[in-house]
Amino acid sequence: MKSEALEVMKERDFYHAKVDEQKSYIRKLEYDNAELVKRDKELSARCKDLATNPPRRPNRRYTNGRG
């Protein structure tokens, strides 16, 4: 009887530890995802900005070193 209770307690503790590991792993993945979402928004805004602005030609005065 006592050994059965100990085995059940050990198994319960094992699964509690596994759940804690998974929770910390999920927390890490959620943080990484939030960083990627933020970076994606910044890059999307930058791409939109670059796509809407026409390309600029360099100033002719400085291209060949001629005045």
* pLDDT tens digits, 7-39: 999 999 999 999 999 999 999 999 999 999 999
Tell me the mean pLDDT in the region 52-63: 73
Query: What's the total number of domains in the chain?
Result: 1
Residue 8 lies in a domain: yes
* Residue 19 located in a structural domain: yes
Q: Is residue 58 in a domain?
A: no
Per-residue confidence (pLDDT) for residue 12, from 0 to 100: 97
Does residue 38 form part of some domain? yes
Q: What distances in angstroms separate CA 39 from CA 45, 52, 63, one per listed residue? A: 10, 20, 35
Structural domain boundaries, residue 28: 2-50
Query: CA-CA distance, 64 to 17, in Å (whole number)?
Result: 69
Q: Is the pLDDT of residue 59 over 90?
A: no
- Answer whether residue 57 is part of any domain: no
Predicted local confidence at residue 2, as pLDDT: 83
